[in-house]
Chains A and B, each alone.
Chain A
Amino acid sequence: AQSVTQLDSQVPVFEEAPVELRCNYSSSVSVYLFWYVQYPNQGLQLLLKYLSGSTLVKGINGFEAEFNKSQTSFHLRKPSVHISDTAEYFCAVSDRDDYKLSFGAGTTVTVRA
């Protein structure tokens, strides 16, 4: 079984500043890793996913994440945020042989002008 910990529940950030959202996972097997974004009153949208290969993964809207196997982390970053990036962000993990996703508790990002 796997679990996901998102270390920050709320991240306030100023427009055009960088942001990093932290995610750590625990699993006894090899995993796939995902970041989803949920805008207010909407469903979850896939930002990016790590399957294998290069540890730096680029996603939509200028986001990227880095997989670190030794630290069991998959932190999400954006070098310069916009007001429209205000949303809740979820890290998720699945075992390579399973269909199910385990989600973190979410990190709320609030971008201020």
Chain B
Amino acid sequence: DARVTQTPRDKVTEMGQEVTMRCQPILGHNTVFWYRQTMMQGLELLAYFRNRAPLDDSGMPKDRFSAEMPDATLATLKIQPSEPRDSAVYFCASGHRAGGVETQYFGPGTRLLVL
């Protein structure tokens, strides 16, 4: 049963520190999405990649967030420097197109708390 994996599952850090979140998409999937979930804003799309190329990162604060796919098995989301308002659950999803439709499969999330 193929699944998206994310590490770490939980992260507590202090304001100003760098945070790196990692995602391993399902093998064979060619799109990767990063979402942020908060009580106030719900699910927000931060960035997405197709075939490792960034297609849209308009949902991401550019000054402190960066997303990359160094290879097909790893996607990273970095926050530097982190701020308390970045506290949220960050989800990675991978997707593939079959029968004309893109279907996304979500990882378990990284719960980030910035103190």
Alpha-carbon gap, A103 to B36, bound state (A): 12
Interface size class of B (residues with CB under 8 A): 20 to 34
Q: Is the CB of B106 within 8 A of A100?
A: no
Q: Is B2 an interface residue (CB 8 A)?
A: no
Q: Is the CB of B102 within 8 A of A99?
A: yes
Q: Is A45 an interface residue (CB 8 A)?
A: yes
Interface residues of A in 67-113 (CB under 8 A from B): 90, 94, 96, 98-101, 103-106
Q: Is the CB of B106 within 8 A of A43?
A: yes
**Tally of A interface residues using CB under 8 Å:** 21
Alpha-carbon gap, A43 to B110, bound state (A): 10
Chain B residues with Cβ below 8 Å from A100 are: 33, 45, 48, 56
Chain B residues with Cβ below 8 Å from A96 are: 100-101
Chain B residues with Cβ below 8 Å from A90 are: 43
Q: Is the CB of B50 within 8 A of A99?
A: yes
- Per-residue CB proximity of A3-38 to B under 8 Å, as 1/0? 000000000000000000000000000001010100
